[in-house]
Structure 1
Amino acid sequence: MAIAKKQSIKVQIYNHLKDAILSRQLPPGKQLVENDISETLKVSRTPVRAAIDLLANEGLDIKPNKGAFVTSPTRNEILQAYDLRKKLEIMAADIAIEHLSNGDFIVMEDCIRIEKEALFTKDMPSYLKANHDFHMVYTNKCGNQFLIRFIEKLINQTSIYLILFDIVFDKETSAVPYGYKEHREIMWMFKQRKRDELVSCLENHFDNAVKSLRTQNEYKDLKGIFR
């Protein structure tokens, strides 16, 4: 019973922290102090540490002997990540264009549908999964396991930047979601086997993704997210 209860506390803390990051209540660079969290919740540091370890696997910045922080990339780091991802995905797409099947296009279409709904309802978790799955459909068809692995890692990394900075998910934004439309164009170029146009679509897609990032938001105190 004690183990189950400890597991439940860990999951609750994890969900609180993750939701706070997803909803942009915690700022990039914010330190997650175990003592503060455990004192606020009146629990031991063990489940708090376990929850932070779970978040570390999803891109939380862990500094040895210094603590855990919400990742805080510089704009140059963000640009480098997107630029590398763009180049690698174009490479994968050039190989995959001859190997995509009707079944692959059905999966891509489904991803676009889910993505569109998630964008307009501001359902970030659903959007991130649909976005990930769309890009991995053609990435997986390139047949190069090293390329696949690197691209997926970059997708996961840039997803963190979307969580922290994409203006489409601002609560008061007037920005109109557009990403799903670009995915539809990308899929169409795959279907038509138009390599040059496909490259152009992918370049525009990643360039627009960077343009939609904003690095200033309103944030909460760490203790405030548990009230």
Structure 2
Amino acid sequence: MVMTSSSVQTAAGFVYDQLRKKIFEKALVSGQRLPEVAIAKELQVSRTPVREALRRLENEGLVQIIPGWGACLASPTRQEIIDTYEVREELEIMAIRKAAKHITPLQLCRLQEQIDAEHETFVNRNLESYLTVNDNFHIIIAESSGNNTLVGYIKNILSRTFVQMIFFESFFDFDTNPSLEEHIIILEALKNHDEAESVRLIREHLRLSMEGLKTK
């Protein structure tokens, strides 16, 4: 049977969804090899859609493809995580300093909406939704700074920490969400336009977030 381009795309989407689901459910571990032949056999597809799905996951930073060796899940090192959070802290402190002065009632409402959504996603134990909502909270603060260049840098660094948290976030081990209360008090500081307190809280929040990642 000859597969058309549309059927290959459909199969590639299926493989992509299945692999991504396994990653977020932690059925696959950081650094694990992803052999095309085995995946194709397991999902009953040809190698072509598997290859396309792996390339898509590579573009998202979830997979590494090494020529002549094959694909494996990304495997951020402890030092890479430390370096990333060091940069993230400086960017987010800059953003929250400005946000404390300029944040609007609408932006404060949007932050509250993310806190409400964060509680719901944690209760449902949906890691992907949880990480997305968490990022949205920080992006809204960045947007409240009024500096679009800074927003772009923060979105970029968040995409890096998003991948790191997929593999090493340990919030499933807790009965309550450890970051929710931190977000609540950050919001209160922003409501009060308290720049010094906002900076102190975001620095502490990011430190605890990094220390909570389960890395080797």
TM-score (norm: length of structure 2): 0.91
* More moved, 75-84 vs 142-151: 142-151
Residue 176 of structure 2 corresponds to 176
**C-alpha distance in structure 2 between counterparts of 1:28 and 1:12, whole Å:** 22
**C-alpha distance in structure 1 between counterparts of 2:77 and 2:63, whole Å:** 13
Counterpart selection for 1:129 from 104, 107, 132: 132
Quick check: 2:62–2:73 contact (8 Å CA) kept in 1? yes
Count of aligned pairs between the two proteins: 213
Q: Please state whether the residue corresponding to 2:102 is helix, strand or coil.
A: coil
**C-alpha distance in structure 1 between counterparts of 2:150 and 2:64, whole Å:** 26
Q: Please state whether the residue corresponding to 2:103 is helix, strand or coil.
A: coil
- Output the amino acid matched with 1:204: E
Quick check: 1:167–1:175 contact (8 Å CA) kept in 2? no
Pair 1:150-2:161 in alignment:
no
- Write the deviation string for residues 172-195 of structure 1: whole angstroms up to 9, x where unpaired: x24531212111111111111111
Quick check: 2:104–2:144 contact (8 Å CA) kept in 1? no
Residue 30 of structure 2 corresponds to 28
Gap regions ≥5 residues in structure 2: none
Residue 198 of structure 1 corresponds to 198
**C-alpha distance in structure 2 between counterparts of 1:58 and 1:88, whole Å:** 22
* More moved, 153-162 vs 38-47: 38-47
**C-alpha distance in structure 2 between counterparts of 1:91 and 1:72, whole Å:** 29
**C-alpha distance in structure 1 between counterparts of 2:33 and 2:149, whole Å:** 34
Gap regions ≥5 residues in structure 1: 217-227
Quick check: 2:118–2:180 contact (8 Å CA) kept in 1? yes
Counterpart selection for 2:44 from 7, 24, 42: 42
- Write the deviation string for residues 38-72 of structure 1: whole angstroms up to 9, x where unpaired: 23333222111111122112212434414322111
Greater relative contact order: 1 or 2 (C-alpha under 8 angstroms, separation 6 or more)?
Answer: 1
CA-based RMSD:
1.8
**C-alpha distance in structure 2 between counterparts of 1:211 and 1:64, whole Å:** 30
TM-score (norm: length of structure 1): 0.87
Counterpart selection for 1:95 from 91, 98, 112: 98
CA separation of 1:183 and 1:174: change in aligned 2, threshold 3 A:
closer
Quick check: 1:96–1:141 contact (8 Å CA) kept in 2? yes
**C-alpha distance in structure 2 between counterparts of 1:177 and 1:60, whole Å:** 24
**C-alpha distance in structure 2 between counterparts of 1:63 and 1:42, whole Å:** 22
Residue 16 of structure 1 corresponds to 18
Q: Any runs of at least 4 consecutive aligned residues in structure 1 with deviations exceeding 4 A, and if so which?
A: none
- Write the deviation string for residues 68-121 of structure 1: whole angstroms up to 9, x where unpaired: 221111111111111211111001111222221111011110000000111122
Quick check: 2:100–2:198 contact (8 Å CA) kept in 1? no
Quick check: 1:38–1:48 contact (8 Å CA) kept in 2? yes
